[in-house]
Structure 1
Amino acid sequence: MPTSNLAAPQVPPDKGNRISIQAPGHEPVTLYYEEQGAGPPLLLLHGLGESIFTWREILPALTASHRVIALDLKGFGRSDKPDDRAYSADDQAALVAQFIVKQDLRDLTLVGHSFGGTVALRTALTDGIAGTARIRRIAVIGAPALPHTAASHLDLVMTPVVPDAMTGILPAKAMARLLLREAMGGREPSERLVEGYAAPYRDEGAMRAFLATARSIVGERDADAVAARYRAVRQPVLIVWCREDPIVPLRSGKRLAAALPRDRLAILEGCHHLPQHERPRQLVRTLTRFLGR
């Protein structure tokens, strides 16, 4: 795996903040977040199977010019993991929208990786955010934002027994290693990376939330209706994709670009589904150019 000379975050991962958020029609949940830097706010949203750990290699570079907030989505990392099955992108977007309002974030840039990119787009369309000036721009990285754009073998999560049995048998580190290896095109992840991704899955309810989220992604229908919703996104959107992404193929990024009214597609070379680890410097350069607009 390529290594990076980017410095490690200065704030220990266990000294973040917690906030109680309630989406309409649901019980309150406590979300965990970490904040560093000063300047215009930038909110980072991780993908499926991830946590704020996923940003560790690019976070220091972003904090040089921004107040960077990394949020653990409901069901992930150190956030609550209720057994309520409300783990769709729209469910998460409702919570992120409440977080933005409660924190009084304005002139905000949303950056989302994979499922987090889908959540970022849906957040811009959520009540309380849509039609306001709170979100200035959005960057999405390898996001399955339209139905049926993830690799077809992921449909396995919709079967009633196999995924639950696998996640019940495999230890957290074995599962993390398996998922990271696939997301990195077969490359062997470092032990530090495996442990960072595995740690949250030792919490009760983490695997249940993972499967509920995966099923919400694979089970979403009506791509035309979703694309029609995205035409209401008025913010500039940067779409970042690795050319060799095996999880959400590049053709999915091109479909998403066609659905958005104000977008730019940036294709990264030499990476798969995790540019924040595989090509962190290239990703930072791409994001920084967008942030400087």
Structure 2
Amino acid sequence: MSSTESPSVPAASVLPKVAPVRVGEGERLRSVGLPGVTLSIRSRRPAHEGLPPALYVHGLGGSSQNWSELMAELDGVVDSEALDLPGFGDSPPPDDGDYSVTGHARAVIRYLDAAGRGPVHLFGNSLGGAVTTRVAAVRPDLVRTLTLVSPALPELRIQRTAAPTALLGVPGVAALFTRLTREWTAEQRVRGVMALCYGDPGRVSPEAFQHAVEELERRLQLPYVWDAMARSARGIVNAYTLGGQHGLWRQAERVLAPTLLIYGGRDQLVGFRMARKAARSFRDSRLLSLPDAGHVAMMEYPEVVARAFRELLADTSVTTPGAGS
């Protein structure tokens, strides 16, 4: 068995001393130990008591920081928490090495069950969109509404620009990529990621770019970073091949929660053409198309996404306690 296929060792034994994770103004970070997994949770102090809980789940290669701007936009609407999936952000690898979509969904469910915060307003982007779709399908009791930003749901014809990401899931490719890009600087890597994920990378402020570089430099010191990426990419590919009741589109049809779907017209990773299929598949859905957005609309247009979410609450009469309900 190759090193890329070996099970992850318990988290405590692989955590080196690295620079601390950035915590934005008004945020706090804590670690939550659960059976088989330890999760880092980013949260904001609620604007007032009685707000309904929300949980945000990031995409492949991302972290809870991807949601900071949207969380700030929704102050006074929900009580926000964002988690780092196992092996990403500040969360160590899962003890069993399971980076499948089901494995990530299991981690989210374990946290919600342990925290007793459900049902929550659940948000997911990319890989996190696939994960939260599965959570909403198998545990409807935990989900009040579902908001999906460019969810990684199966496509018959994957965009050419998404192919390199999918290839990371092929055994050995991550190690090869690491060797081939050894001389790349963190700045070069971040520029490449932003060119791929943003509809207009020029919208990224110099401060945000520098924060992204610092976070990547921190991540690259972790010994499991490429293993987590490769296994999670493989998990997405494997999820695409599942049929029957475990298929993601079949599970989308089972989601009972009111669902907000957000797709970007300049998304190079999730096809914009999938928006209408998603709108047909989720039984109680609303579709927001953003022609100029890329793969991370909640980072490019947080105020627009926040407005659409507030409209979802109004349309479905899912109001916040203490806010006129």
Per the shorter chain, which TM-score range? 0.7 to 0.9
Match of 2:154 in 1: 146
Q: Deviations over 1:113-160 (max 9, x none)?
A: 11111111111233xx24x3x311100000112255653423322444
Aligned with residue 72 of structure 2, among 39, 47, 60: 60
**Following the alignment from structure 1 to structure 2, what is the Cα–Cα distance between the partners of residues 223 and 254?**
21
Q: Which moved more, 1:61-70 or 1:179-188?
A: 179-188
Aligned with residue 213 of structure 1, among 232, 254, 259: 232
**Following the alignment from structure 2 to structure 1, what is the Cα–Cα distance between the partners of residues 251 and 115?**
26
**Following the alignment from structure 1 to structure 2, what is the Cα–Cα distance between the partners of residues 20 and 283?**
31
Q: Is 1:203 aligned to residue 201 of structure 2?
A: no
Q: Shift of the alpha carbon at 1:53?
A: 1.1
Match of 1:31 in 2: 39
Instruction: Give the alignment's Cα RMSD to 1 decimal.
Output: 2.4
Aligned AA (1:281): E
Equivalenced residues, count = 275
Q: Shift of the alpha carbon at 1:31?
A: 0.3
- Contact between 2:170 and 2:230, CA under 8 Å: does it hold in 1? no
Q: Is 1:20 aligned to residue 40 of structure 2?
A: no
**Following the alignment from structure 1 to structure 2, what is the Cα–Cα distance between the partners of residues 57 and 111?**
14
Match of 2:131 in 1: 119
**Following the alignment from structure 2 to structure 1, what is the Cα–Cα distance between the partners of residues 219 and 97?**
19
Q: Deviations over 1:13-70 (max 9, x none)?
A: xx41111122xxxxx1110002222510010111111101111222211122211011
3-state secondary structure, aligned to 1:250: coil
Q: Deviations over 1:212-265 (max 9, x none)?
A: 111211233046643222222111111111122111011122222222222111
Identity %: 24
Aligned AA (1:268): L
Q: TM-score, length-normalised on structure 1?
A: 0.84
Aligned with residue 99 of structure 1, among 88, 111, 121: 111
3-state secondary structure, aligned to 2:74: helix
Q: Is 1:165 aligned to residue 183 of structure 2?
A: no
Change (3 A) 1:192 1:276: farther
3-state secondary structure, aligned to 1:245: coil
Match of 1:4 in 2: none
Aligned with residue 87 of structure 1, among 75, 89, 99: 99
Change (3 A) 1:255 1:223: farther
Q: Which moved more, 1:80-89 or 1:236-245?
A: 80-89
- Contact between 2:174 and 2:227, CA under 8 Å: does it hold in 1? no
- Select the structure of larger CA radius of gyration: 2
Q: Is 1:234 aligned to residue 283 of structure 2?
A: no
Match of 2:193 in 1: 179
**Following the alignment from structure 1 to structure 2, what is the Cα–Cα distance between the partners of residues 216 and 172?**
26
Match of 2:54 in 1: 42
- Contact between 1:41 and 1:108, CA under 8 Å: does it hold in 2? yes
Stretches of structure 1 lacking an aligned partner (at least 5 in a row): 1-7, 23-27
Q: Which moved more, 1:193-202 or 1:241-250?
A: 193-202
- Contact between 2:59 and 2:125, CA under 8 Å: does it hold in 1? yes
**Following the alignment from structure 2 to structure 1, what is the Cα–Cα distance between the partners of residues 173 and 143?**
40
**Following the alignment from structure 2 to structure 1, what is the Cα–Cα distance between the partners of residues 130 and 81?**
18
Match of 2:145 in 1: 137
Change (3 A) 1:149 1:54: farther
Q: Deviations over 1:273-293 (max 9, x none)?
A: 121232222222112212333
Aligned with residue 275 of structure 1, among 297, 303, 306: 297
Q: TM-score, length-normalised on structure 2?
A: 0.76
3-state secondary structure, aligned to 1:58: helix
Q: Shift of the alpha carbon at 1:197?
A: 4.8
Q: Deviations over 1:170-203 (max 9, x none)?
A: 4554333322211124735543353255143432
Change (3 A) 1:149 1:255: farther
Aligned AA (2:258): P
Q: Shift of the alpha carbon at 1:83?
A: 7.1
3-state secondary structure, aligned to 2:292: coil
3-state secondary structure, aligned to 1:20: strand
Change (3 A) 1:76 1:148: farther
Q: Shift of the alpha carbon at 1:161?
A: 3.8
**Following the alignment from structure 2 to structure 1, what is the Cα–Cα distance between the partners of residues 72 and 251?**
34
Stretches of structure 2 lacking an aligned partner (at least 5 in a row): 1-22, 317-325
3-state secondary structure, aligned to 1:249: coil
Q: 4+ runs of 1 displaced by more than 6 Å?
A: none
